[in-house]
Amino acid sequence: MSWTPRLRGAQPVYLALATSIADDIQAGRLAPGDRLPPQRDLADALGVTVTTVTRGYAEAARRGLVSGEVGRGTYIRQPAFAPAHRHRDAGLLDLSVNTVLPHAHAREISAHIAASASRGDAERLLNYQPCTGQSEHRAAGVVWLAAAGLACEADEIIVTAGAQHALAVTLMALAVPGDVVLAESLTYPGMTSLASHLHLEMRGVAIDQHGIVPDALDAAARRSGARVVYAMPSIQNPTGTVMPRARRQALVDVVTRLDLTLIEDDTYGFLVPGLTPLAAAIPDRTVYVASLSKSLAPGLRLGFLRAPSRWINRLTGALYATMITATPLMATAAAEMIGDGTAARVLQWKRQEIRARQRIARRIFKTDPARAVAMSPHIWIELGAKWAADDLATELRRRGILITPAREFAVVRRDAPEAVRICLGAAPDRQVLERALKIVAETIASGPRALGRAI
Ligand SMILES: Cc1ncc(COP(=O)(O)O)c(C=O)c1O
């Protein structure tokens, strides 16, 4: 590209170069994914040494503005993801939010919270509690994780304010600015956003219908020197894939061989019971993250993190730095719901509801059953050459439906496939979902030509 920096002020040239990159991103003259000029070319153009340009690019990387790899160039980074639903528009059906609201059990859950509040020891509920959670809360975590196939001790558990908080705590404790975090090439945007805020660099690893490709992970880890890998083996967000046993073992082998730390996000794992988390095979090198958001309700803001004992102190420090402790009232209510079987009932209802909604989606989209994941709360639709994903999302918004184009999930946006994610759990009921999916299917089938545009 033919970008030239404007070097201002009395500061050293390398700092002025980094500032110029920041200014031009702010002004829109540089966009995410743009490649900066090769260092030697820029040094010649500016009449400075290559070392000065190298230092300038390194300073820009330190400020979280660019990412680069030796021999591959320096690129402008993605800005931190800002979720669209923060500005939710009235009147639109939002199938972009990945939630499965417990409609049939909503009253029961709120009654539980109210009962916990009135029955419990008010002083205790309203006071600060131990950072990692009261012992009953962590004991409930042990029960919850055991149901997910992971045996652990209460002192390996930290109660968090949901999975997003658990991920934040983990990255704060185990990574330092500039570190590379490897992830599936299409990944959960909350993770990308977090990495960006913490000045970490995400690199995407190839995925296929079984999830992350072990050889690609091996190559990416060796090339980048990354120590941390983030993955969602059980219902990947956004593709919905579930890693079969053989792939899990292959991934465990790579993580062990290369001495990596695995962050296993099992937010959706409750929908595919019977699969053992990777953390069970490599507990000493895995931070396992579970959440009650999808399984019970996101408003609880509650999750459990399980880590090897040697990391608990560091993780507790990060937890203290972020919110001191999860909310005692919610943790108490959740622990009681886990203990008295309410949570298990809600979970059962959700599994049935998702299965029913998947059946509707399959009927409408005629998905190949071998590839479709019967228990995923979201579907991933590859559009082929017919539609650009962003155009489809814009057109559907015009027709009153919000979905998410692949770009939002791509670690490298310019590599995003033409595909979209649709969240089945977000519609208030199956009838509304069916109507909305029919509109999506008709819009896809009619193609952009129907809008009077050239393909
Ligand atoms: C894969 C994944 N991890 C974490 C989260 C955040 O969940 P929580 O509400 O528990 O913070 C989400 C939410 O959509 C998610 O999809």
> Does ligand 1 lie within 6 Å of residue 232's CB atom?
yes
Give the pLDDT score at 455: 38
pTM (predicted TM-score) = 0.86
- Ligand 1 atom nearest the C-alpha of 298 is 9
Q: How far is the CA of 165 from the centre of ligand 1 (A)?
A: 9
Query: Strand pairing partners for 288?
Result: 264, 306
Q: How far is CA 198 from CA 177, 296, 301, 362, in A?
A: 6, 29, 22, 40
Evaluate: CB of 237 within 6 angstroms of ligand 1.
Answer: yes
What domains lie within the chain, and their CATH numbers? 13-76 (1.10.10.10), 84-103+344-451 (3.90.1150.10), 129-340 (3.40.640.10)
Rounded to the nearest angstrom, the distance between the alpha carbon of 164 and the centre of ligand 1 is 6
Task: Please tell me if the CB atom of residue 163 comes closer than 6 angstroms to any atom of ligand 1.
Answer: yes
The distance of Cα 292 from the centroid of its chain, to the nearest Å, equals: 15
Supply the residue whose CA is at minimum distance from atom 7 of ligand 1: 163
Report residue 386's pLDDT band, with 50, 70 and 90 as the boundaries.
confident
3-state helix, strand, coil in the chain (%, to 5): 50, 15, 35
Which span out of 4-18, 73-87, 97-111, 142-156 was modeled with the highest average pLDDT? 142-156
Is the CB–ligand 1 distance for residue 162 below 6 Å?
yes
Q: What is the pLDDT of residue 373?
A: 73
Lowest-pLDDT range, 43-57, 80-94, 188-202, 399-413?
80-94
Task: Please report the pLDDT score of residue 120 as a whole number.
Answer: 78
Within the chain, how many helices (H) and strands (E) appear? 16, 16
Mean pLDDT for 298-321 is 97
- Does residue 110 sit in helix, strand or coil? helix
**Above 60 in pLDDT, residue 88?**
no
CA 114 and chain centroid, separation: 31
Average pLDDT, the chain: 91
Instruction: Say how many Å lie between the first and final Cα of the chain, rounded.
Output: 27
Distance 317 CA to ligand 1 centre (A): 22
The span from the CA of 227 to the CA of 176, in Å, is 11
Could you tell me if the CB of 96 is within 6 A of ligand 1? no
Q: Which helix (H) or strand (E) holds 157?
A: strand 157-160
Of 121 and 262, more confident? 262
Residue 53 has pLDDT above 50, yes or no: yes
Ligand 1 pocket member 326 (CB < 6 A): no
427 CA to middle of ligand 1, Å?
18
The pLDDT, as a whole number, for residue 359 is 92
The pair of three-digit structure tokens given for residue 71, joined into one six-digit string: 């021999």
Beta carbon of 336 within 6 Å of any ligand 1 atom: no
Ligand 1 contact via 267 beta carbon (within 6 Å): yes
Q: Is pLDDT above 50 for 454?
A: no
Q: Let me know: does 18 contact 54? Beta carbons within 8 Å.
A: no
- 404 Cβ closer than 6 Å to some ligand 1 atom: no
For ligand 1, the distance from its centroid to the CA atom of residue 187, given in whole angstroms, is 11
Report the pLDDT value the prediction gives residue 33, as an integer from 0 to 100.
79
pLDDT at 320 (0 to 100)? 96
CA 206 / ligand 1 centre spacing (Å) = 22
Ranked by mean pLDDT, which of 3-17, 89-103, 162-176 comes out on top? 162-176
Ligand 1 centroid to residue 289 C-alpha, Å: 10
Average pLDDT, integer, range 335-364? 94
Mutate to test the pocket of ligand 1, among 294, 296, 378 (most ligand atoms within 8 A of CB): 294
Cβ of 125 closer than 6 Å to ligand 1, yes or no, is no
Q: What CA–CA distance (Å, rounded) separates 170 from 263? A: 8
Closest C-alpha among 451, 449, 446, 443 to residue 396: 443
Does the beta carbon of 291 sit less than 6 angstroms from any atom of ligand 1?
A: yes
Indicate if ligand 1 lies below 6 Å from the C-beta of 74: no
Q: Is the CB of 156 under 6 A from ligand 1?
A: no
- 251-309 residue pLDDT tens: 999 999 999 999 999 999 999 988 999 999 999 999 999 999 999 999 999 999 999 99
**Separation of 267 CA from ligand 1 center, angstroms?**
6
Q: What is the mean pLDDT of residues 238-255?
A: 96
**How much is the pLDDT for 78?**
72
Tokens describing residue 32 = 């995410």
What is the rounded distance in angstroms from the CA atom of residue 375 to the CA atom of residue 193?
Answer: 27
Angle at 322 between CA 319 and CA 327, to 5 degrees: 75
Q: Rounded to whole angstroms, how far apart are CA atoms 144 and 290?
A: 9
Given a cut of 60, is residue 393 above it in pLDDT? yes
CA 269 – ligand 1 centroid, Å = 12
Cα angle, residue 27 at apex, residues 22 and 31 outer, rounded to 5°: 75
Rounded to the nearest angstrom, the distance between the alpha carbon of 448 and the centre of ligand 1 is 33
pLDDT digits (tens, 9 = 90+) for 357-385: 999 999 999 876 545 577 899 999 999 88
Q: Which atom of ligand 1 is nearest to the CA of 164?
A: 11
Can you state the angle between helices 389-398 and 430-446, rounded to 10 degrees? Answer: 130
pLDDT given at position 80:
66
* Ligand 1 atom closest to Cα of residue 188: 1
pLDDT at residue 368 in the model = 62
Nearest CA to ligand 1 atom 14: 98
Look at residue 70 in the predicted model and tell me its pLDDT.
61
pLDDT score of 2? 79
pLDDT > 50? residue 94:
yes
Ordered strands of the 157-160 beta sheet: 157-160, 303-306, 286-291, 261-265, 228-231, 180-184, 201-205
Atom index in ligand 1 nearest the CA of residue 162 equals 10
Give the pLDDT confidence of 123-154 residue by residue, as tens digits.
Answer: 888 999 999 999 999 999 999 999 999 999 99
